[in-house]
Each structure stands twice: as structure tokens, then as C-alpha cells.
Amino acid sequence: MLTMLGIPNCDTVKKARKHLEANQVPFQFRDLRKQPLDREEWAGLIAQDDSGKLINTRGPSFRKAGIPKEELNPGNSLQVLLEHPTAMKRPVMTEDGRLLSIGFSPEIFQAYINR
């Protein structure tokens, strides 16, 4: 089953949830504040993130980490996300541990509707 990772008060997450619900796409939502990912789960997502977009380097949560974005690497990315899970670019869609997409756009989410 599709899983959306995010926080419920994020405007982008709200749009993505509304889009999937309006198109009757079954998914589960995982609130990163109530059900944080563990070290293994974050490491798995980081390893699959070929785009380097898993961390939102423009957000306040990332700035709290105090790491310049030029110095991000898989090791310190893991530490950032463990300490500041809301530094993740939202939403992230996964299925059975596989990273499917980062962020929201109707074009990307169309693939979930056409399943």
C-alpha cells in the first residue's frame, strides 16, 4: 500500500492528501511527529534518493541543524533527519520501503491514480 510521509499541518501535504482522496487512491498517512521513522527507515530513503531532494534545505527545520547545504552527505543527512524529521521535503510517497516520490505535483501523483 502507498504510504505518505509528512506532517498534517503542511500545506503541500494537505494538497497531496486532498488530491489522492478526491481520486479515491488508497493510501495511509504517517505523521512524522507522531510516528517518526527510525534510523534504518531514514537510511533506506536516503540511499534511494538519487535526486538529493529528500531534505528541504530551504526550510527552517534544516536551518536549525546548522549544516551548510554544500556539506550534506548521506551520513550527516541521516543525522539531520533523525534530529529534525520535519526537515524532509514533504510529502514523501513510499511503498513497501521503496521511495516513489518526493514533493507534490499533480503530474507525479497521476501515476498513483492510474494504478
Range of the domain at 25: 7-113
Enclosing H/E stretch for 92: strand 92-95
How far from 4 is each of 18, 52, 67, 70, 91, CA to CA, in Å? 12, 19, 27, 28, 6
SS3 27: strand
Q: What is the pLDDT of residues 51-88, one digit of tens each?
A: 999 999 999 999 988 999 999 998 899 999 999 999 99
SS3 97: coil
What percent of the chain is predicted at pLDDT more than 70? Answer: 100
**CATH number of the domain bearing residue 15:** 3.40.30.10
pTM: 0.94
Three cell numbers at 94?
Answer: 513510499
User: Domains in the chain: how many in total?
Assistant: 1
Residues carrying an active site annotation:
10
